């Protein structure tokens, strides 16, 4: 595992618990942090459930599951993460929140600690500039769901040094995942391509080109996508999709990145997708049904 053996993860939500899962399974000592004990308990339950699935599939053993769970600690105190070799921030996709987290961490960091963010779109250079170690800061963007998806985007800020990049690359390889190097431009590679496609699907719905079902069926059967774009938007979270479109629109100043007004309306209504039980589909019944 090279020089990185201990990992701190900020945020125990969908991304954070998945990141903790794969690091613990790969033999790293992990501490998971959140502001709520309830979130930490839910994260541990989710990790246990996902490890159980891997046991059933035969990809890990019961002993492997027990060892992985034994490597995951938790804390409500952000400062406890300071001495870790690597810290991955996986909090909500809001720049001010991320900046506040790094600011609080700074006085407690070990000299060699590498700071990273799992941001899907925010400037790594800008986040790094607010710390005392921009050369030891980079983007470490996992795909969702983390235990299943193979790709990790590694994004260098303008000041990131080669040693930090190589250390993070070694970590990705030790997890059994594949790294893609992206430049520090709005939304990087995956979301620069994916989220505007989703936004265009919302425009197709908004303009009456097709219904929710016809748009998703067309892309699944016509383009061989495993999930339709509106179904995928619900899975990602419509608030996250909107946040990334706003980053693209603000950062690139091109009207082709203008968020669809219908996407904005859904977020204003609190219809954020699966996590709120309503989005482009309504998840409150036994089967998801289109919400319009």
In the set 121, 141, 167, 231, the catalytic residue is 141
144 is in an annotated binding site: yes
Residue among 228, 234, 225 at smallest CA distance from 215: 228
CA dihedral (68, 70, 71, 76) in degrees, to 10, reads 120
Q: How far apart are CA 207 and CA 185, in angstroms?
A: 30
5 is in an annotated binding site: no
For the chain, state the CA radius of gyration: 19
Task: Measure CA of the first residue to CA of the last residue in the chain; give whole Å.
Answer: 50
Q: What are phi and psi of 128, to 5 degrees?
A: -65, -35
Going by C-beta distance under 8 Å and a sequence separation of 6 or more, which residues neighbour residue 3?
Answer: 85, 112, 167
12 is in an annotated binding site: yes
93 is in an annotated binding site: yes
In the set 117, 118, 120, 123, the catalytic residue is 120
In the set 89, 191, 199, 231, the catalytic residue is 191
CA dihedral (179, 108, 104, 7) in degrees, to 10, reads 30
218 is in an annotated binding site: no
3-state class of 181 per DSSP?
A: strand
The number of residues making up the chain comes to 292
14 is in an annotated binding site: yes
In the set 89, 153, 167, 231, the catalytic residue is 153
Residue among 225, 227, 256, 3 at smallest CA distance from 112: 3
Q: Is 141 a catalytic residue?
A: yes
Contact yes or no for 283/271 (Cβ under 8 A): no
139 is in an annotated binding site: no
214 is in an annotated binding site: no
Q: Is 249 a catalytic residue?
A: no
| Positions marked active-site | 120, 141, 153, 191
Which residues carry a binding-site annotation? 11-16, 34, 93, 98, 120, 144, 275
Which residues carry a binding-site annotation for NAD(+)? 11-16, 34, 93, 98, 120, 144, 275
């Amino acid at each position: 595992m090279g020089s990185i053996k201990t990992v701190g993860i900020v945020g125990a939500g969908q991304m954070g618990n998945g990141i903790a899962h794969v690091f613990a399974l790969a033999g790293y000592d992990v501490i998971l942090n959140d502001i709520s004990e309830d979130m930490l308990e839910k994260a541990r339950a989710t990790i246990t459930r996902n490890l159980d699935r891997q046991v059933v599939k035969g990809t890990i053993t019961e002993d492997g599951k027990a060892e992985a769970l034994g490597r995951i600690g938790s804390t409500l105190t952000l400062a406890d993460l300071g001495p870790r070799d690597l810290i991955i921030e996986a909090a909500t996709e809001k720049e001010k929140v991320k900046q506040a987290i790094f600011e609080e961490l700074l006085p407690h960091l070990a000299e060699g600690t590498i700071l990273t963010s799992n941001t899907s779109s925010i400037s790594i250079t800008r986040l790094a500039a607010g710390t005392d170690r921009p050369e030891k800061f980079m983007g470490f963007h996992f795909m969702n769901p983390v235990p299943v998806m193979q790709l990790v985007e590694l994004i260098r800020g303008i000041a990131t040094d080669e040693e930090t990049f190589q250390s993070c690359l070694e970590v990705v390889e030790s997890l059994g995942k594949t790294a893609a190097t992206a430049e520090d431009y709005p939304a990087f590679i995956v979301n620069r391509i994916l989220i505007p496609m989703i936004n265009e699907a919302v425009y197709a719905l908004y303009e009456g080109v097709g219904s929710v079902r016809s748009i998703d069926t067309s892309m699944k059967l016509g383009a061989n996508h495993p999930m339709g774009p509106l179904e995928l938007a619900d899975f990602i979270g419509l608030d996250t999709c909107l946040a990334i479109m706003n980053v693209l629109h603000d950062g690139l100043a091109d009207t082709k990145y203008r968020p669809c007004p219908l996407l904005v309306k859904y977020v204003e209504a609190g219809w954020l997708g699966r996590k709120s039980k309503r989005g482009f589909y309504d998840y409150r019944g036994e089967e998801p049904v289109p919400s319009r």
